């Protein structure tokens, strides 16, 4: 899983039929201190996240499909949790 921050929404009038009804968000990987790390990418939302939220993203196709309940469809990245706080000790 990757720690990310949601930085935008995706609106698509035409998309893969399997993606109909699923919210796509743009996420930016961050380190444990909230600093940007790497390139942003698209992820499907399963937890009603919004812009500015820090989230956990799973980037493994089988896991993403199971979370979204779409075992045969082409999903790779899914937001699976909203992070309230990061504790470093």
Q: How far apart are CA 31 and CA 5, in angstroms?
A: 10
pLDDT tens for 43-86 read 989 899 999 999 999 987 666 666 766 666 676 788 999 999 98
Q: What is the CATH number of domain 1-44?
A: 2.40.50.220
pLDDT at site 66: 67
Name the token pair of 8. 């935008």
| Per-residue pLDDT at 10 exceeds 80 | yes
Contact residues for 20 (Cβ-Cβ < 8 A; gap 6+): none
As a whole number of angstroms, the distance between CA 64 and CA 78 comes to: 5
DSSP H or E run through 54: strand 54-58
Output the pLDDT for position 39: 97
Domain locations along the chain: 1-44
Q: How far apart are CA 29 and CA 67, in angstroms?
A: 20
In this prediction, residues 39-44 reach a mean pLDDT of 93
């Amino acid at each position: 899983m990757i720690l990310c921050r949601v930085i935008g929404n995706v609106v698509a009038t035409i998309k893969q039929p399997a993606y109909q009804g699923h919210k796509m968000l743009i996420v930016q990987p961050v380190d444990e201190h909230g600093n940007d790390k790497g390139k942003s990418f698209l992820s499907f939302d399963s937890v009603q996240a919004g812009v500015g939220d820090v989230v956990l993203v799973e980037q493994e196709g089988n896991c993403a499909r199971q979370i979204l309940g779409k075992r045969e469809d082409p999903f790779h990245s899914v937001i699976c949790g909203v992070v309230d706080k990061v504790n470093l000790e």
